[in-house]
Amino acid sequence: MRYRWLLAPFYLLSIFTAAKSFRGNPVLGSRTLNRWGLHVLRKRVAGRIGQWRRRQLAATVSAEDRAALERDGFIVKENFLDPATFQALRDEITALDVDAREAVIGDTLTRLIPLDAKTMPGLPVTRGVVESPAYRDLLAYVGSFRRRPRLYVQTVFSQFCEGEPDIQSFFHSDTFHPTLKSWLFLQDVAQDESAFTYVPGSHRYNRRRLAWERRVSMTAAQGHDRLTAEGSLRISEREIRRLGYGPPLRLALPANTLVVADTSGIHARSTTLKQTVRVSIWAYSRSNPFLPWVGGDLESLPGIKGRALRLIWALQKAFSRKPPSPSAWQFVGKRSPWGAPGR
Ligand SMILES: O=C(O)CCC(=O)C(=O)O
Ligand SMILES: [Fe+2]
């Protein structure tokens, strides 16, 4: 691009944001700057500020949960809801039949039904659960921000078609700073199904991890691994062991279990040979990791609250010049969380 230098101030300023793509930004992707330690410095500074924000939220969660996050990088709450509430929540979600988004990535179809200002009014039980302090405080602590998480009903159809394994099934870290993803599973997930898998302790970094990140960051922009180039560093099981971490843990869990994870740690969705359907209430949240304060959420302002995402999607669609590909997220019409794809 001839006038790319005009964007130089933008590329430079993005150092201080959540921007993570090495490929999309010549500053973040610079081999020289990353040899000098730009990527690793961003990781260390964002990590420190993240810990500072978590300390501000520490009083809202139990000592046991804080210890689990510190040790493992995730918190697991079995029997999160009392049985009657869980049943009512499950019934409410099962009965949904609304506009959904889908994408086929590799051999997996993922469906997302936004839980936002449009769908939530018809879901009093769900709303009560996702707005309860027990849920929100845990998510805020792990995500290190008191923000409205983006919420969905997520359905994962594994072995949906022939294809490469889904990209989520390769071990990776989502981004360089503390960040949140959470699943409240609505049915059991067995060992040999598409279980969420996490390398305990991998949200913490040691010298070997930082040296590895520095090395990878130098060539990530040019490398052929798309996930790494976009800032979600992919890693092999051999490298995980070399960095001194223990074995990955597959979270085989009963229904009504809440998992809240810092997905800057190393994780993946297990591959499975079976055709399985995994439904959960899925949440994620990401903010500028360099902010020292935990609040100030623009998305909770009146008028925007619960509407931001559809607004962004509408804008994306309006400005997109390419026809959508099957691997791109798009609205596919009305769907129910457990309903077969392509109905
Ligand atoms: O769905 C899963 O089990 C994990 C997928 C993943 O890596 C992610 O959502 O970041
Ligand atoms: Fe991930």
> Residue 245 is part of a domain; what is its CATH number?
2.60.120
Residue 326 has pLDDT above 80, yes or no: no
Q: What is the pLDDT of residue 61?
A: 98
1 is a domain residue: no
What's the rounded mean pLDDT across residues 278-297? 94
Residue 177 CA to residue 181 CA, distance in Å, equals 13
Say if ligand 1 is within 6 A of residue 111 CB. Answer: no
Instruction: Give 199 Cα–ligand 1 centroid separation in angstroms.
Output: 13
pLDDT band at 219 (very low <50, low <70, confident <90, very high): very high
- 36 vs 311, higher pLDDT: 36
Question: And the tokens for 95?
Answer: 């009965």
> Mean pLDDT score of the chain, rounded to an integer?
94
Percentage of residues in the chain with pLDDT exceeding 70?
99
Which of 108, 172, 179, 181 most suits a substitution to test ligand 1, by most atoms within 8 Å of the C-beta? 181
Residue 296 has pLDDT above 90, yes or no: no
Nearest to 225 by CA among 265, 171, 161, 158: 171
The helix/strand/coil state of 26 is coil
2 is a domain residue: no
Q: What is the pLDDT of residue 1?
A: 56
Say if ligand 1 is within 6 A of residue 168 CB. Answer: yes
145 is a domain residue: yes
Residue 28 has pLDDT above 70, yes or no: yes
pLDDT band at 273 (very low <50, low <70, confident <90, very high): confident
Sign of CA dihedral 279, 192, 163, 182: positive
267 is a domain residue: yes
Domain housing 221: 8-286+304-335
Instruction: Give 12 Cα–ligand 1 centroid separation in angstroms.
Output: 30
Is 24 within 8 Å of 11 (Cβ atoms)? no
226 is a domain residue: yes
- 71 vs 316, higher pLDDT: 71
Q: What is the pLDDT of residue 48?
A: 97
183 is a domain residue: yes
Nearest atom, ligand 1, residue 263 CA = 10
Is 153 within 8 Å of 278 (Cβ atoms)? no
Instruction: Give 181 Cα–ligand 1 centroid separation in angstroms.
Output: 8
341 is a domain residue: no
Is 47 within 8 Å of 178 (Cβ atoms)? yes
How many structural domains is the chain composed of? 1
Is 260 within 8 Å of 179 (Cβ atoms)? no
What's the rounded mean pLDDT across residues 90-100? 97
Comparing 71-75, 123-127, 215-219, 329-333, the range with the smallest average pLDDT is 329-333
Instruction: Give 173 Cα–ligand 2 centroid separation in angstroms.
Output: 6
Say if ligand 1 is within 6 A of residue 171 CB. Answer: no
276 is a domain residue: yes
What's the rounded mean pLDDT across residues 306-321? 84
Instruction: Give 5 Cα–ligand 1 centroid separation in angstroms.
Output: 36
In the structure, ligand 2 is a single-atom ion and the residues with CB under 5 Å from it are 174
Question: And the tokens for 90?
Answer: 């499950």
